Chain A
């Protein structure tokens, strides 16, 4: 049986639903010796900012039960160096290339997008990271405020015709409201979730382990939380959703598809096994064959709750 793994997220079509999550896959080249990148649905870059960012002081990483906390602080080379040093490699890829952008205020995001316009023919979509805990506007994390999410999405929508993916934070009581705000602002796709806020303590030293006290919680431990957020979002909006959180194997991907995601991103798993993203693609095909599913898209939103 021919298995069709392709999925469509509006105008963004993917050969298969497996993307890599921002900040866990470098600029893709780091993984080129472990993964045939062209077998993935696509790659998502680390968050790119207007200026280079050195990131937060150590420790930036700590392991917790079945997961990890990070406080990388959006360390990246900045948009100019990204275009100069990282785009030449990305350009050579046949899979979808998604550039994740971040900033501290609307002007920052706008500035990044303006610069990326010069290489836009090699970019398939933008993902807007609205959900980094360090990103503040007027003292509030603006990714948590539906009004700000709307304004940001609208501002960026006016600048590009490329598919615009808005990445949402799960650290709110109603993720559906954020999704609606992005939808009204003109987003094409939503991705959920970014990391949950977490904290780990060194009891002997009576200190937090991370340099920034709290950090972003990711990995297998967050999968049920992330699935619930995607499910909530599915009820609230019509836009295609990219599910993210704790995906390590094909079965995890199928869970996200069933609750309503059209594609997924693999994050923390890339650190545990750098070749895992491609393995998941292989496994997905086998799973579909075993389950007698010829088109993976038929599973999207097919969760039966009654």
Chain B
């Protein structure tokens, strides 16, 4: 596992608005791109002034090590993500990465990639890697409504099956991802699988609960408020399931076995 980290002055080479709040941003960062593994993230510093001050963590969404770029899928929620969304080709951001542990390969097949919202970002990277290794996978993605739906065609190229749900039913299945996944698991008789889950906390909690006692290995990619991104500030604590203290999202994670951690509310 590569744990070497790089600081790069990454130039924005492409920006695309995918829907009212999602942006795809391509950054030129050859060293990070080459060393990145699915599930890892980068820390992007928005400005050399002091506001926003801290770098913002973003999952690596796609990369091409040969061409030296990587992409992030950004949802605008506050000042930092807004600044990213307003960047233009040619702008530069200081980027630190690749950070975190990344996904490990599945021991139980198929690999089921379950993503909600921008939580799909690391799973798109994972799907492309699994497909390169001919590991069978399926994807279950959820969005708020049709306008947010993205990456479905791309995922079809990587995965055997792709299922999509929206909260309002404007595209695909209507309803929430945990229910949707439970139904798929039952219909298809999936009693062994490795689940890779990234999305809102309630979604991840419910999938972890549903999976308990079943033949699933469950990996969750979690978010925590971060400062450094590499284990120095001890800010990104996630409670351990056994109640014995904390693990750090930035170095022990962001990917954890669901058995290891207790998700917040």
Contact = CB atoms under 8 A, between A and B. Distances in A.
Interface residues of B, number: 31
Contact of B233 (A57, A58, A67, A70): A70
Interface stretch (A4-12, A271-279, A295-303): A271-279
Contacts of B224: 58-59
Interface of B: 4-5, 7, 45, 50-55, 94, 96, 224-228, 230-239, 244-246, 264
Q: Among B54, B226, B235, which residue has the most Cβ atoms of chain A within 10 A?
A: B235
A186 B30 CA distance: 54
A109 to B, nearest CB: 21
Contacts, number: 98
A55 B232 contact: no
A13 B224 CA distance: 40
A58 B237 contact: yes
Nearest to A53: B245
Contact of A274 (B7, B53, B226, B245): B7
A213 to B, nearest CB: 15
Contact of A219 (B4, B50, B55): B50
Given A68-B227, A273-B94, A63 B52 contact: yes
A30 B231 contact: yes
A211 to B, nearest CB: 9
Contact of A60 (B4, B234, B264): B234
Nearest to B228: A271
Q: Among B7, B225, B264, which residue has the most Cβ atoms of chain A within 10 A?
A: B225
Contacts of A268: 53, 227
Q: Is the interface of B mostly helix, strand, loop or mixed?
A: loop
Interface in A20-39: 23-26, 30-31, 33-34
Contacts of A65: 51
A150 interface: no
Contacts of A33: 4-5
A60 B237 contact: yes
A204 to B, nearest CB: 13
Contact of B225 (A25, A58, A275): A58
Nearest to B224: A58
- Sort chain A's interface into a size bin: 35 or more
Given A54-B246, A271-B227, A75 B234 contact: yes
Contacts of A248: 50
A62 interface: yes
A274 to B, nearest CB: 7
A72 B246 contact: no
B94 A63 contact: no
Given A75-B237, A274-B232, 9 more contacts: A30-B230, A46-B234, A54-B244, A56-B237, A61-B54, A271-B227, A272-B45, A272-B54, A273-B94
A248 B234 CA distance: 21
A255 B50 CA distance: 18
Interface string A124-153: 000000000000000000000000000000
A1 interface: no
A59 B217 CA distance: 28
Contacts of A63: 52-54
A274 B239 CA distance: 26
28 contacts: A23-B233, A30-B230, A31-B232, A33-B4, A34-B7, A54-B244, A54-B245, A54-B246, A58-B225, A59-B224, A60-B225, A61-B233, A61-B236, A62-B225, A63-B52, A63-B54, A66-B50, A67-B50, A70-B227, A75-B246, A220-B53, A268-B227, A270-B232, A272-B54, A273-B45, A274-B96, A274-B228, A274-B230
Interface in A71-91: 72, 75
Given A34-B7, A58-B225, A271-B227, A72 B51 contact: no
A272 B237 contact: no
Contacts of A219: 50, 53
A68 B232 CA distance: 15
Contacts of B54: 61, 63, 68, 271-272
A219 B54 CA distance: 10
Contacts of A72: 233-235
B53 to A, nearest CB: 6
A25 B5 CA distance: 16
A61 B245 contact: no
Contacts of A34: 5, 7
